[in-house]
Structure 1
């Protein structure tokens, strides 16, 4: 979800082999665009995670249903904390534990890496759709 210009743009896609069986992960640390990325197994968990990140004005969240299981506020542009490193590390460890309880992916809080189809670094799923990052143009999702 685009979060910089209030455009209302929301990109949607399916992610395979993430291993998320329930709940949702959300965060504003997303390489290249730093929009809000939400990955989830159900709508309610995804909404809870997205709203929690919004309420913190940026950060990382793990949610299940209506419950926030763990969160790490990143109030500096949604990317950095203003807290001591020990507090940030502790919060991140809590996030990892909660995320691993929901997903089998080795790095469940790095969902933005999975938004590059097929591991192709030349394309990225953004709030506008699938983008060729070399040519700066939108690509079709379906081949006729």
Structure 2
């Protein structure tokens, strides 16, 4: 019997006027900023830490939205409002921005999990519009 262990991953969604921030990997894939939670670290905290490491952005507000299980990771998807000027750092070689109507333009570059998380986020956002209006006021 084989046992597969999935990584616990914090995944950040940061919306900007240009779109949701995506990090380009060295293999050319576009993924949401984030990464594995360290021992004793929550996936929520990992999303905030990894966002800072990969983009230089500092989270000012964050809320956990939903969990997503991919083939390799257990994602905690965290919506984050951040300050600073995003730039590629750490293992992000470039940053890109994706709006809902552009997702098909990125389809060949998006990881399977990122594509699904983005679509799940946009559905969640549409169903909870009042929550996001409230969160953006503060």
TM-based fold match above 0.5: no
Return the index of the structure with the highest Cα Rg: 1
- The structure, 1 or 2, with the larger RCO (C-alpha pairs under 8 Å, 6+ apart) is 2
Q: Which has the higher strand share?
A: 2
Q: Which has the higher helix share?
A: 2
Query: TM-score, normalization: structure 2?
Result: 0.29
TM-score by length of structure 1 reads: 0.28
